[in-house]
Amino acid sequence: MNKYLNVQGATDSEGRHIQCNEAKNGKIHQQWDVVYADQWKGEPGNGELNEEYGLYVGKSFHVISAMDSGRYLEVINNRNLVIKQRNSQRG
């Protein structure tokens, strides 16, 4: 009988339980990569490129809109994303 590893609730969060299911659904919460221990490079360190995300670890960056205004992405109230001019007042 085939069994499939499934992330509980299809939720990508730390410490989420793994279930063994008989049904294959092909969704991302049942897809896994196998990396052999002798091929694991480890997590990139400070200042090194994280090839998976294309960003450097520990290096500050801004996310800028491609619209004509070139506004920056900003988090307000620790939960809302907005676009703002670089030096605008927080709202």
Question: Both 22 and 59 in a single domain?
Answer: no
Q: How many CB atoms lie within 10 A of CB 74?
A: 17
Element (H, E) at 4: strand 4-7
Q: Is residue 37 part of a domain?
A: no
Mean pLDDT by 10 residues, the chain (91 residues): 89 88 91 84 90 90 86 85 73 46
Please, what is the Cα angle at 55 between 47 and 26, to 5 degrees? 130
Tell me: do 3 and 27 sit in the same domain. Answer: yes
In this structure, the answer to whether residues 28 and 55 fall within a common structural domain is: no
Q: Please give the residue range of the domain that contains residue 48.
A: 43-91
Check: pTM over 0.85? Answer yes or no.
Answer: no
pLDDT score for 91: 46
